Amino acid sequence: MTSKAQLLNTLDSLVNQRVTVPTNPYGGQCVALIDNVLQYQGLFNLDFSYLNAIDGLSRAESLGLKVTRFNGANNPPVGSVWVTNCLPYHQFGHIGFVVAENPDGTVTTVEQNIDRNGDALYNGGWTRKVTRNLDSAGNFSYIDWNAPTQQMVGWFELPFDGAGDDLETEGMNKGDYFIDVSAYQSADLTGICQASGTRNTIIKVSEGVGWLSPVMAQQTNTSNCIGYYHFARFGGDVGTAQAEANYFVSNLPSRPKYLVCDYEDGASGDKQANTNAVLAFMDVCKSNGFEPIYYSYKPYTLANVYVDQITARYPNSLWIAAYPNYDVTPHPVWEIYPNMSHTKWWQFTSTGIAGGLDKNVVIVGDSFKKKKEEEDIMNFVVRSESGAEGWVAVVNGRVFGIGSMSTVDTLEGVGAKRLQLDDGDFKRFLESQSNDIKGVEQAIREANVAVIKQIEDRAQATQGQTGK
């Protein structure tokens, strides 16, 4: 089945094109865009061929889709297809997609044949991305496009992946790791991901309005890309910030959950102007259907922007960097955590592996919905504070002793959480995870204490290795 992200990505690829279908002789009509996407793009296999836009809801009902009529208070959700009445101008109606909900209450739409060209009824127009406002009277008016206001009739929703099964797949849990990479790293991230213990990545796409990463597509294809970042050059200029954001958005290799404004250089002397520019950049990301994130260092942030204004509009949107040193640091040193409200992610090192690699940990996780029939099982690799018993794994409620540090690394790489517990709590924790008391005792006996020496040897081998 098709995800909402796949639909939005397809729509982005069609903007500023004249979209047609073989069943409609009148060229790039608004309904041709709908039919092309729903029937001919390989997404839904839904027949919306050769009808007037005003009949779109009836067709959707006949196909078993969820249809909602406008009641003065409801709004079409992202990914839905809306229908409007265009009287008194003509009786055919109009139709398009909602692709984003904006902070100011407006929505971003993708729709076709709104250029008001003289041959619109015969040759149609082009696909455009525009901003609209829907008021309680049903007036669906354009904010940034010269076209008449229409009356909202209603909308229908599409059968996306996960519809009705209470499942949401995008995002990360608290404690998850991810790395961020740029053109400094190789195009194929397979080896780097293996070395770092995570496939989650945020990838640099652009800088200013004149630089694009030559490896961003390959990096996307060889990792689990959860977001992209842009290195900001706009200082305190709102217009330049918007231009950079549009440049960023228009050059994305795919459509992940997050877009990041990397603001760590070139701030102006006007703190409020800097803040306004950052928010303008993030607003463009939001208007295009992404979750915006602000990245920087704590001292730079406090000196150059009013961070409370950013988090007031975008709660839990901070990605803050703070490192203990430049030694290889595969796990966070919590003593130097940059304690800032609304921190979502912490970049805890620039040397996650030898040779340099930014590594991050999730502080505020995303909200996940699980299938009702599935249990939410957490796996662990555990050792006592003294290390006397070595490492023990807890996997799907069963415990076993670990004989090699590589096994610890492998389990962490697939999501197991590392714990170091007080000696007195170590056994009690394991017993709380399993009803097999004898099995717990055996796992402790089998745990190889030599693994501790492997950790110490590894630390010594990487001591002093820096660089990026």
All domains of the chain in start order, with CATH: 4-157 (3.90.1720.10), 177-362 (3.20.20.80), 380-460 (no CATH)
pLDDT for residue 301: 97
Pairing type for strands 177-181 and 358-362 reads: antiparallel
pLDDT in tens, 137-186: 999 999 988 889 999 999 999 988 643 333 333 568 888 899 999 999 99
Q: What is the pLDDT of residues 55-90, one digit of tens each?
A: 999 999 999 899 999 988 788 999 999 999 999 988
Average pLDDT over residues 426-435: 76
Express as a percent the part of the chain with pLDDT over 90: 56
Using one digit for the tens of pLDDT, what is the confidence trace for 355-414?
999 999 999 887 544 433 334 456 888 888 877 778 888 887 678 888 777 787 778 777
Per-residue pLDDT band for 453 (boundaries 50, 70, 90) equals low
Is the pLDDT assigned to residue 344 strictly greater than 80?
Answer: yes
Token pair 């990605």: residue? 319
What lies within 8 Å, CB to CB, of 290 at 6+ separation is: 249, 255, 256, 257, 258, 259
Mean pLDDT of 117-131: 89
Nearest one of 176, 174, 234, 187 to 208, comparing CA atoms? 234
User: Is the distance from CB of 255 to CB of 9 less than 8 angstroms?
Assistant: yes
Q: Give pLDDT, residue 171.
A: 64
In 3D, which of 379, 383, 388 has the Cα closest to residue 420? 383
As annotated, the active-site residues are 180, 262, 264
Sorting pLDDT into bands at 50, 70 and 90, what band is 305? very high
* One-letter-per-residue 3-state SS of 82-129: EEEECCCCCCCCEEEEEEEECCCCCEEEEEECCCCCCCHHHHECCEEE
Among residues of the chain, what percentage have pLDDT more than 70? 89
Rounded to a whole number of angstroms, the distance between the first and last alpha carbons of the chain is 41
- Output the pLDDT for position 457: 54
pLDDT band at 298 (very low <50, low <70, confident <90, very high): very high
pTM here is: 0.53
> Across the chain, what does the average pLDDT equal?
86
- Give dist(CA 391, CA 450) in Å, integer: 10
Tokens of 69: 């009529």
Tokens read off for 331 = 């796990």
* Paired strand residues for 150: 140
